[in-house]
Amino acid sequence: MDRLVVALDDGYASYDQETSILVAAGARFEVVPCRGSEARAMAAVREADVVLVRESPVSRAVIGEMTRCRAILRYGIGVDNIDQAAARERGVMVGNVPDYGTEEVASQAVALALAAVRRVRLHDAEVRAGRWSTGVLAPMYRLRGRTLGLIGYGRIARRTHQMLAGFGFARTLVNDPSAETVAGIEAVDVDTICREADLISLHAPLTAQTRHLIDARRIALMRPTAVLVNTARGGLIDLDALAAALSEGRILGAGLDVFEQEPPDPAHPIFSQPGAVLTNHIGWYSEESMRDLQRMAAEEAARVLGGGTPTHWLNRW
């Protein structure tokens, strides 16, 4: 059994699924806790036939050390930590596992939206501090009759839309050039969503073109009742501009599960904004989704070892 599958990051409670699936495929499975270290990653991948990765960067330098790798597979969806061009040059396929955790991320988007709309953080703090008042601490607005904006309309956005449908939005605006036409939605540009939506949820991938898609100019277009939610990638938002808008009361609130730098700097002004509800990139998680992800990633590795290509092959040639 000389074939080797390496996971560059630890962090899961158990790797029993990977071990059993890959042993059955005739491969050893090793977990190497790189934790962002390029040097550790370079050493770990040299003899690997398939590399599984969570957060550690798989840079051109890391790919350059690969001697026989056929595929780099991401535990999850986003692959902005993998140099796909360098992998293509070396004939290394890059794949991901996009079809897990849909329920969980959509639920997180809805939870963040509702927490911001209903000022849950503010009122939770008041009760914990022993202050009880049924008076108005900050304005709140009902969702019924308002406008929902979705930037990106893949499986998670569609499920988020379904979950929010019961709140009675009058309009749903969508920006996604690749999305199929769906009854009841209006296809518009990003500026229109920023101008007209009361709740804006981001579901786009992070690319060179979408980095800071929501910048100071677009935030300035938003209504004072707007709530912005991001469960996709932190780099979609200019965090400085968002914090300034919240501080100045130009938008109502924000719910963020992702940040451009993770972990974020706790001194950043976003942390002092009472209208911001912040979580730690946990939207993907439930016990069920974690097990699904690990199993599916291992099955993808076994597929590659068997001479196949990743189901979701991203850097095709």
Q: Catalytic one among 18, 233, 300, 303? A: 233
Active-site residue, 74 included: no
Q: Catalytic one among 119, 161, 218, 281? A: 281
Separation of alpha carbons 299 and 286, rounded Å: 20
Active-site residue, 260 included: no
Separation of alpha carbons 81 and 281, rounded Å: 15
Separation of alpha carbons 224 and 206, rounded Å: 26
Pick from 276, 191, 175: which is nearest to 228 by CA? Answer: 276
Burial class (CB in 10 A: 0-12, 13-18, 19+), 119: buried
Separation of alpha carbons 42 and 138, rounded Å: 52
Q: What six digits make up the tokens of 193?
A: 């969503």
Sequence letter at residue 200: I
Q: Catalytic one among 68, 144, 262, 316? A: 262
Q: What six digits make up the tokens of 216?
A: 């100071």
Pick from 287, 305, 314: which is nearest to 14 by CA? Answer: 287
Active-site residue, 60 included: no
Catalytic residues: 233, 262, 281
